[in-house]
């Protein structure tokens, strides 16, 4: 639809004159369609729709369609106002003053939906009909249409408008654009079916099929025409016979032929692999009777006088379709062997079958205020039923349960290229940027909504066009995570922002750890050492893992010194055995053998917690006996350097002497934090029958660091268990400290 530029003062005076003229008939609401047409005619009389049809003539035809399906005069008036809306500077204000706020909202909302769909079709024309992007855009149009259907008048107006567009294209022998045809086939016709407006549904499907497969359409149409006179004569005779017989039974029946829908005939021919003469729709009758009891009595008479076909009977009265459709369907053969499809229903069922929700939708005018909404209880019940139909339609589209809060929790906005983007209600330009691409979200610095610069925490509305201004580099602001500032409504966008800051923190920690390790290597004169090899020797997968742990102060540089400095030479094992043989006097405490001394108290050092078969050494303390350390213990090396004379030789006793002993050992675990992590690791120790006597945990920014103190008989068994712990989901490091 072509839009005029903003109105100048002279056209503005023209609009004021139109308002004065159209409000002169108030306060009476009668003739509201005529007043709306008089209002719109100066604005759209010379305009042309996208299909090439004069816009005022299009509006007249749409109003006629609404009248046919039972839409009130207010509904018919609304279509003129919706097409006039884009031609006004302040449509809500101008239309509201002339017709009331409800009419203004309806006109603006319908115009917005039309504008969004036009832009979306223009964007989809560049996509292949079978492409994944085109399919996604079609689904988004469906969702957007549902989002706009808070006011169901919008849906009915758009259905009627689309039907008229297809009628005009057929009358002018002008094929609709592929994108409009696809939208009609995949969105509007199914929506009419879901709402039970079969009069629109059937005609729309026939017009779509005529445009998609013109040759097949002409062939079936010609087959219907070939024996039309003979078939109509037979049908007239059959109608009279059935109607007279039923009236003789006391049933006031009206029998008529059912319209032939070419698209339905072709679907049945293809789906059931039938010839044209085998399709039951070609000979079809509809019987209207006063009551439900009469429906079943009529069915009994039909089955008694004709031969019913098995598996061709449907009772939609006892089991109505999801859109509320009710009728009895049966297929029978006459004495000549010809098949007839017969539908039996009451007038009320027929009205609903033809017009669906429109048959129940009563729109009221209330004095000078115009449309006031649905007030009767029956209308309220009808609205609830229609909302259920829309939710059921949405469930059909998604292949599962309907989304909760469909009408309140999602909005649909457009990119500058007219691609539709789904956001949570309250979504902002920052949410929009992250939905398009994570990097665009990180670098988002400003936004235009419908061409106007807005703050980044501005809530977006259905149908708006959003354009993001981004920097060449940079990251998000910490303010975006402040819930009180309302920059983000999408949980996905929030997680992306948190992930960026977590990664930034990790990079800073790694850099700090690298600097500390490199300074240590310089002091030790080992700058030529491979950092990756050093990390492997220390039990880390990569050098960055080592740097990160050192940067967090969770791994001592003294441990690195231990690896860098070669161990002191040890006496030959044979010489050790001989030495111990000539010194039989010894004492065993806790599985530790002190060479050369008797009854000497020993205790394991808390700093390194030695356990067999670690290489150990003793240090004579003041008043606490001999403290037993692992030889690679950083604290022990400092003690040796400070007071070497107090070092004493110790060793483990034989395995029989210590078989009933258990030694406490610290195990360090680093993992991605998640619910149930501590439980899963504890379960491993329990399954391996390893007693846990202490646990310390710390969790920061999605990472967990845990220290388990376990009792072991020897460290060889511990190494096996740690390999199992490392297989727990999320665990990155599991090692003895």
Do residues 631 and 674 lie in contact, with contact meaning Cβ atoms separated by under 8 Å?
no
Select 222-359's CATH number: 3.30.460.10, 3.30.1120.10, 3.60.15.10, 2.60.40.10: 3.30.460.10
Q: How far apart are the first and last CA of the chain?
A: 74
Do residues 589 and 650 lie in contact, with contact meaning Cβ atoms separated by under 8 Å?
no
What is the pLDDT at residue 431?
Answer: 95
Report the predicted TM-score, pTM, of the whole model to 2 decimal places.
0.47
> Which tops the pLDDT comparison, 115 or 350?
350
Q: Which helix (H) or strand (E) holds 74?
A: helix 73-84
* Rg for the chain, CA atoms, rounded: 42
Do residues 665 and 736 lie in contact, with contact meaning Cβ atoms separated by under 8 Å?
yes
Of 277-286, 351-360, 466-475, the range with the lowest mean pLDDT is 351-360
What is the pLDDT at residue 102?
Answer: 81
712 pLDDT band, cuts 50/70/90, is confident
Main-chain phi, psi angles of 281, to 5 degrees: -60, -20
**71 has pLDDT over 70:** yes
Q: Where are the domains of the chain?
A: 9-212, 222-359, 410-489, 508-564, 573-652, 663-736
Q: Which helix (H) or strand (E) holds 256?
A: strand 254-257
The two tokens of residue 89 are 């500077």
Of 110-114, 164-168, 261-265, 459-463, the range with the lowest mean pLDDT is 261-265
Tell me how far apart the 2 most distant CA atoms of the chain are, in Å: 131
**296 has pLDDT over 90:** yes
529 pLDDT band, cuts 50/70/90, is confident
**533 has pLDDT over 80:** yes
State pLDDT tens for residues 547-591: 888 888 778 787 787 777 765 555 444 444 333 333 333 444 456
Of 4-13, 414-423, 572-581, the range with the lowest mean pLDDT is 4-13
336 pLDDT band, cuts 50/70/90, is confident
What is the pLDDT at residue 357?
Answer: 53
Distance CA 651, CA 635 (A): 19
**225 has pLDDT over 60:** yes
Strands (E) in 360-489, as ranges, are 410-414, 420-424, 444-449, 452-454, 466-470
The DSSP bridge partners found for residue 734 are 669
> Which tops the pLDDT comparison, 373 or 689?
689
**345 has pLDDT over 90:** yes
State pLDDT tens for residues 82-105: 899 888 888 889 998 988 888 888
Q: What percent of the chain has pLDDT over 70?
A: 74
Whose CA is closest to 241, among 197, 277, 285? 285
Which of 138-152, 186-200, 481-495 is most confident? 481-495
What is the pLDDT at residue 143?
Answer: 65
Of 165-179, 349-363, 425-439, the range with the lowest mean pLDDT is 349-363
**624 has pLDDT over 90:** no
Mean pLDDT, residues 264-269: 71
Which of 57-71, 253-267, 489-503, 676-690 is most confident? 489-503
The DSSP bridge partners found for residue 314 are 329
What is the pLDDT at residue 344?
Answer: 95
Q: Is 452 exposed, middle or buried (0-12, 13-18, 19+ CB in 10 A)?
A: exposed
Strands (E) in 570-715, as ranges, are 586-589, 592-595, 602-604, 616-620, 626-630, 647-648, 650-652, 663-672, 692-700, 703-712
Count Cβ atoms below 10 Å from residue 429 Cβ, excluding itself.
Answer: 28
Select 9-212's CATH number: 3.40.309.10, 1.10.3210.10, 3.40.50.970, 3.20.20.80: 1.10.3210.10
The DSSP bridge partners found for residue 670 are 705, 733
Of 304-308, 445-449, 662-666, the range with the lowest mean pLDDT is 662-666
Q: Is 620 exposed, middle or buried (0-12, 13-18, 19+ CB in 10 A)?
A: middle
HSE-CB of 293 using CA atoms within 13 angstroms: 2
State pLDDT tens for residues 431-445: 999 999 999 999 999
Mean pLDDT, residues 23-33: 51
Of 218-222, 236-240, 608-612, 675-679, the range with the lowest mean pLDDT is 218-222
Mean pLDDT, residues 657-679: 82
The DSSP bridge partners found for residue 454 are 447
Q: What percent of the chain has pLDDT over 90?
A: 19
Mean pLDDT, residues 31-57: 90
235 pLDDT band, cuts 50/70/90, is confident
The two tokens of residue 442 are 């990180």
Q: Is 302 exposed, middle or buried (0-12, 13-18, 19+ CB in 10 A)?
A: buried
Q: What is the CATH number of domain 663-736?
A: 3.30.70.260
At the fourth CATH level, the homologous superfamily of domain 410-489 is: Beta-grasp domain (3.10.20.30)
DSSP H helices, 149-212, are 152-171, 178-183, 189-194, 198-212
**488 has pLDDT over 90:** yes
**371 has pLDDT over 60:** no
Mean pLDDT, residues 444-462: 91
DSSP 206-244: HHHHHHH-HHHHHHHHHHHHHTHHHHHHHHHHHHHHHHH
> Which tops the pLDDT comparison, 418 or 396?
418
SS3 at position 141: helix
> If you average pLDDT over every residue of the chain, what do you get?
77
Instruction: Please give the distance of CA 560 from its chain centroid, rounded to a whole number.
Output: 49
Distance CA 346, CA 342 (A): 14
**592 has pLDDT over 80:** no
**1 has pLDDT over 50:** no
**702 has pLDDT over 60:** yes
């Amino acid at each position: 639809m072509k839009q005029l530029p903003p109105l100048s003062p002279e056209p503005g005076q023209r609009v004021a004159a139109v308002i004065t003229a159209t409000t002169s008939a108030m306060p009476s609401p009668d003739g509201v369609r005529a007043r709306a047409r008089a209002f719109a005619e100066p604005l759209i009389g010379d305009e042309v729709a996208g299909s090439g049809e004069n816009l005022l003539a299009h509006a007249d035809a749409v109003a006629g369609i609404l009248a046919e399906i039972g839409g009130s005069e207010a509904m018919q008036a609304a279509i003129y106002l919706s097409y006039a809306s884009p031609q006004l500077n302040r449509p809500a204000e101008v239309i509201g003053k002339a017709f009331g706020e409800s009419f203004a909202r309806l006109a603006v909302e319908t115009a917005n939906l039309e504008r969004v769909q036009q832009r979306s079709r223009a964007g989809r024309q560049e996509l292949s009909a079978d492409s994944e992007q085109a399919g996604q855009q079609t689904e988004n149009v469906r969702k957007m249409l549902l989002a706009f259907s808070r006011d169901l008048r919008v849906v009915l107006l758009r259905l009627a408008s689309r039907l008229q567009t297809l009628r005009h294209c057929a009358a002018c022998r002008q094929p609709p654009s592929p994108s409009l045809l696809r939208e009609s086939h995949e969105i509007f016709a199914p929506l009419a079916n879901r709402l039970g407006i079969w009069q629109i549904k059937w005609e729309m499907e026939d017009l779509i099929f005529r445009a998609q497969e013109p040759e097949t359409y002409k062939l079936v149409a010609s087959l219907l025409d070939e024996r039309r006179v003979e078939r109509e004569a037979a049908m007239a005779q059959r109608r009279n016979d059935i109607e007279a017989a039923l009236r003789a039974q006391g049933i006031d029946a009206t029998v008529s032929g059912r319209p032939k829908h070419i698209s339905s005939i072709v679907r049945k021919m293809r789906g059931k692999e039938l010839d044209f003469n085998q399709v039951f729709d070609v000979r079809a009758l509809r019987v209207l009777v006063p009551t439900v009891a009469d429906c079943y009595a009529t069915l009994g008479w039909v089955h008694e006088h004709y031969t019913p076909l098995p598996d061709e009977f449907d009772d939609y009265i006892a089991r109505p379709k999801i859109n509320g459709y009710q009728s009895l369907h049966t297929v029978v053969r006459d004495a000549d062997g010809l098949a007839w499809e017969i539908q039996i229903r009451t007038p009320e069922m027929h009205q609903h079958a033809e017009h669906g929700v429109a048959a129940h939708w009563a729109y009221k005018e209330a004095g000078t205020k115009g449309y006031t909404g649905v007030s009767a209880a029956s209308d309220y019940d009808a609205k609830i039923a229609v909302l259920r139909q829309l939710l059921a339609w949405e469930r059909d589209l998604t292949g599962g349960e309907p989304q909760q809060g469909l009408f309140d929790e999602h909005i649909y906005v457009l990119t500058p290229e007219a691609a539709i983007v789904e956001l949570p209600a309250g979504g902002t330009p920052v949410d929009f940027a992250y939905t398009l691409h994570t990097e665009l979200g990180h670098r988002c610095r400003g936004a235009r909504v419908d061409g106007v610069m807005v703050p980044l925490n501005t809530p977006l509305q259905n149908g708006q066009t959003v354009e993001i201004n981004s920097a060449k580099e940079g990251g998000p602001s910490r303010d975006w995570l402040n819930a009180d500032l309302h920059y983000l409504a999408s949980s996905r966008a929030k997680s992306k922002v948190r992930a960026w800051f977590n990664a930034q923190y990790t990079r800073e920690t790694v850099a700090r750890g690298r600097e500390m390790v490199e300074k240590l290597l310089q002091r030790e004169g080992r700058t030529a050492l491979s950092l990756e090899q050093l990390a492997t020797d220390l039990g880390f997968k990569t050098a960055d893992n080592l740097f990160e742990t050192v940067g967090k102060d969770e791994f001592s540089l003294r441990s690195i010194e231990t690896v860098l400095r070669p161990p002191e030479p040890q006496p030959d094992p044979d010489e050790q055995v001989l030495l111990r043989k000539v010194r039989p006097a010894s004492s065993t405490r806790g599985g530790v053998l002190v060479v050369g001394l008797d009854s000497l108290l020993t205790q394991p050092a808390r700093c390194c917690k030695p356990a067999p078969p670690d290489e150990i050494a003793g240090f004579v303390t003041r008043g606490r006996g001999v403290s037993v350390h692992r030889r690679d213990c950083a604290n022990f090396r400092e003690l040796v350097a400070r007071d070497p004379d107090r070092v004493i030789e110790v060793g483990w006793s034989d395995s029989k002497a210590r078989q009933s002993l258990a030694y406490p050992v610290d195990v360090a675990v680093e993992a991605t934090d998640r619910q149930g992590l501590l439980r899963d690791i504890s379960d491993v120790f329990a399954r391996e029958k390893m007693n846990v006597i202490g646990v310390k945990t710390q969790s920061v920014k999605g990472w967990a660091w845990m220290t388990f103190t376990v009792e072991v008989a020897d460290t060889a068994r511990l190494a096996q268990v740690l390999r199992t712990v490392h297989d727990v989901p999320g665990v990155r490091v599991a090692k003895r400290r």
